[in-house]
Amino acid sequence: MNKKLIVFYTIKGSTIKKIIIFDIFVGTGIYYLLKIVISSTIIATIGSLIGTEGAKKLNFVDVRKEAVITL
């Protein structure tokens, strides 16, 4: 008999709030810093996006908790 593996990812509401607040503050900060230094809206927008995603990859905010069920 083959077993099927089902993976559930649970995210708490407080974690979602942390992620949104983190994105707003870090993204806005990076945007305005780049906007002042470089004076380009397009580069500031791209830098803000890359900066927030890079910060998430460094695990400043823990996003996932995993529950594995085997059938």
Q: How many domains is the chain built from?
A: 1
pLDDT computed for residue 52 by the predictor = 86
Cβ contacts of 23-29, under 8 Å, gap ≥ 24: 23/52, 26/51, 26/52, 26/55, 27/51, 27/52
Which has more pLDDT, 5 or 68?
A: 5
Domain that holds residue 44: 5-70
pLDDT computed for residue 20 by the predictor = 86
pLDDT computed for residue 46 by the predictor = 93
The pTM of this model reads 0.61
